[in-house]
Amino acid sequence: MEEEKKKGKVLVIDDNEDILFALNLLLKPLVEDIRVTSRPEQIDKFYDLIHPDVVLLDMNYERDAISGEEGFEWLEHILHRDPQAVVIFMTAYADADKAVRALKSGATDFITKPWDNSKLLATLFAGVELSRERHKNRLLEQRMEVAASPFGAAAAPTIIGESPAMRHVLQTVAQVAATDANVLILGENGTGKDVIARQLGALSARASKPFVSIDLGSVPEQLFESELFGYEKGAFTDARKSKAGRMETANGGTLFLDEIGNLPLPLQAKLLAALERREISRLGGTQATSIDVRLICATNADLHREVEEGRFREDLLYRINTIEITMPPLRDRGEDIILLAEHFLSLYARKYNKVSLSLNRDARQKLLRHSWPGNVRELMHAVERAVLLAKGPGLCAADFVLKETTRRTAQTPILNLERLEQEAIQRAMDVAGGNISKAADLLGITRYALYRKLNK
């Protein structure tokens, strides 16, 4: 087969040397690169070497010849390293339950030994296509996430947004990025806190070192400690091998703790101790490991109120918020809404092979009037939906199906005193038709007091 027709990079892991020889002989003329190994502990080495499109992974190894448990452990290892990985299991001991479990665990397909060459090749090359499609989509998503920040490429920020609030954020990022100061990023969900964190990492002196993130909102409480600090083999029932935690992995680089407000109080104390001593101990271990990380945290919670109510340690808050950056909600960014909408429109038009699309005047007005409770993330999905359903080159207001929601609901009452006061003043002014004296009477305050509040 001609070189240009070869397709895909493949990594094969199997403890049977005959299997490795046969697959290498079969696939080498057909793929761009193939590496084989009988030692699954070399997965990371080969991953760094060739970045495989497909991994052919044996399910059974010497420790347990037929259960497949070791194969599932290595599958988990691969998917932890690369969530987009296409892994095809191979085993001589196939059964329906095992196949179902393999697919539920994240494997893409399942091949039994001995295999049929034509079926194996069809499965393999379908996996190559799937892998490249996944990574292409992920790149597009990353570009969109970056746009939501409103940054462009990590190394060279492109500002998509000109509102005063965003200019203030960008100015702060530029001032503190090169330092080792701990940063706390505050803001509602969907405002781009995670991308600001990555931008801080990309512009720091640690840019060439690891940037390790963990979403504490998605980690079960019982796994917090092992995720942060790691564990030694035998530390608990399923700890079959030692594993470094996120803090250890980030050594020398940047550690991003998203949704820091979800960290339980006992773990807050351990995190504070680790930051102050600059060392961690793995779960079940006795050896302390020195760490050097720059910490960036983010949350949509009011940590100062959490401190007052005893749910967050005040000393930890002081440790993590040397600098605070507050991401403005989209509803407060004015014309940035249109700039971002046009950016997403361009990206999705290319993704879905649509003709050149544009926003009509009524569409722009509708987008500007919407309150955007889901912020930039909501805008991104609204534009994608409009592009998919577009009937012509001009998108009108009807093409955007926006769910109007009131921010004061039975489930989410507004308890912020400043916002309650602002709403009361606005309602009083509306009822009084703009008459200051009448509005002050409705509010039960003097005209002078109302003037002061309006100026504020």
Is it true that 3-141 and 148-326 share their CATH fold? Answer: yes
CB 344 within 8 Å of CB 379? yes
What does the alpha-carbon distance between residue 272 and residue 340 come to, in Å, rounded to a whole number? Answer: 38
Reported as a single tens digit per residue, the pLDDT across 30-43 is 999 999 999 888 89
Q: Which residue has the tokens 């109302």?
A: 450
Q: Which residue has the tokens 């493949």?
A: 10
Amino acid at 383: V
Number of H helices, E strands in the chain: 18, 16
Q: How far from the centroid of its chain's Cα atoms is residue 142's Cα?
A: 9
What does the alpha-carbon distance between residue 350 and residue 352 come to, in Å, rounded to a whole number? Answer: 6
What does the alpha-carbon distance between residue 114 and residue 119 come to, in Å, rounded to a whole number? Answer: 11
What does the alpha-carbon distance between residue 448 and residue 435 come to, in Å, rounded to a whole number? Answer: 13
Class of domain 417-455: mainly alpha
Give the residues of the chain that fall short of pLDDT 70: 1-4, 61-68, 93-100, 136-159, 404-419, 429-434, 448, 451, 455-456
Which of 164, 191, 173 has its CA nearest to residue 334?
A: 164
* CATH assignment, 330-399: 1.10.8.60
Q: Strand 279-281 to strand 288-290: parallel, antiparallel, or no bridges (unpaired)?
A: antiparallel
- SS3 string of 376-394? HHHHHHHHHHHHHHCCCCE
DSSP 208-231: TS-EEEEETTSS-GGGHHHHHHEE
3-state helix, strand, coil in the chain (%, to 5): 50, 15, 35
pTM of the model: 0.57
pLDDT the model gives residue 147: 44
pLDDT the model gives residue 144: 45
Class of domain 3-141: alpha beta
Residue 430 CB partners (closer than 8 Å, separation 6+): none
Domain ranges of the chain: 3-141, 148-326, 330-399, 417-455
* CATH assignment, 148-326: 3.40.50.300
The tokens for 441 are 């009477």
Reported as a single tens digit per residue, the pLDDT across 86-122 is 999 887 765 556 666 777 778 888 888 888 898 899 8
